[in-house]
Chains A and B, each alone.
Chain A
Amino acid sequence: ETGVTQTPRHLVMGMTNKKSLKCEQHLGHNAMYWYKQSAKKPLELMFVYNFKEQTENNSVPSRFSPECPNSSHLFLHLHTLQPEDSALYLCASSQEGLAVAYEQYFGPGTRLTVT
């Protein structure tokens, strides 16, 4: 596997279900991100992990719970979601340092539908 992978690619869940999204990066990066992309809205940054420590929680509801066990893996645990949480969830990674030049590499995303 190369780059950033995400599983599952598609997920349909009911409002009472519990599920998890998984992201894995094979690039040796030290930072990972979760983004939410809804129709007709800009990409919304949800969480940032830098060296496994959460450095950003962008006012995300508690029904979304991130987990970063190591610098290569990132999870997003979902429970009691709402229909408006239906979106494309993108994971990204980058090599953080002292410069602004580090681009983020994205996974293919998980298309989530909450019924």
Chain B
Amino acid sequence: AQKITQTQPGMFVQEKEAVTLDCTYDTSDPSYGLFWYKQPSSGEMIFLIYQGSYDQQNATEGRYSLNFQKARKSANLVISASQLGDSAMYFCAMREEDRDDKIIFGKGTRLHILP
């Protein structure tokens, strides 16, 4: 079974609109961390935001926020006021405490921002 599921292979969004990228995860470990990475066409993976399983509040970093719904095992990334430079692949990832040397990545969502 997949540990990280990203159901949107591709998305097209108008510039300046908000966009939500979906991510669901599967774990029985009570302690885990969730990450989002951005991969532009240059190839480098850029860390965006982190959410811990025990964090009470949703994580925010500038225009990025993580909509964490623990009971639903959902960790959607919300990008507000999208920009052309946001066009990239976005990966959701998870690290479980009992496997803390391994981050598991989803298949990614390709986001296209339209001018």
Q: A-facing mask of B35-51, CB < 8 A → 1, else 0?
A: 10100001111110010
30 contacts between A and B (CB under 8 A): A41-B107, A42-B106, A42-B107, A42-B108, A43-B105, A45-B102, A55-B101, A90-B43, A90-B45, A96-B101, A98-B100, A99-B100, A100-B32, A100-B33, A100-B52, A100-B95, A100-B96, A100-B97, A101-B33, A102-B95, A103-B47, A104-B45, A105-B47, A106-B37, A106-B44, A106-B45, A106-B46, A108-B42, A109-B43, A109-B44
Q: Which of A42, A50, A105 meets B101, CB within 8 Å?
A: A50
Tell me the bound Cα distance from A41 to B91 in angstroms: 12
Pick the 4 closest A-B CB pairs, nearest first. A106-B45, A100-B33, A109-B43, A43-B105
Chain B residue contacts of A55, Cβ below 8 A:
101
Tell me the bound Cα distance from A45 to B101 in angstroms: 11
Q: Confirm or deny: A81 has a beta carbon within 8 angstroms of a beta carbon on chain B.
A: no
Q: Confirm or deny: A107 has a beta carbon within 8 angstroms of a beta carbon on chain B.
A: yes
Tell me the bound Cα distance from A100 to B29 in angstroms: 11
**Number of contact residues on A: which range applies?**
20 to 34
Is B44 a contact of A100 with CB atoms below 8 Å? no
Q: How far is the CB of B41 from chain A (nearest CB, A)?
A: 11
Tell me the bound Cα distance from A105 to B44 in angstroms: 9
Q: Confirm or deny: B114 has a beta carbon within 8 angstroms of a beta carbon on chain A.
A: no
With CB as the reference atom, state the residue of chain B lying closest to A104: B103
Chain A residue contacts of B8, Cβ below 8 A:
none
Q: Confirm or deny: A74 has a beta carbon within 8 angstroms of a beta carbon on chain B.
A: no
Is B50 a contact of A103 with CB atoms below 8 Å? yes
A100-B31, A100-B32 in contact; A107/B44 too (CB < 8 A)? yes
Tell me the bound Cα distance from A101 to B102 in angstroms: 12
With CB as the reference atom, state the residue of chain A lying closest to B37: A106
A100-B31, A100-B95, A101-B33 in contact; A56/B45 too (CB < 8 A)? no
Tell me the bound Cα distance from A104 to B103 in angstroms: 8
Chain A residue contacts of B105, Cβ below 8 A:
42-43
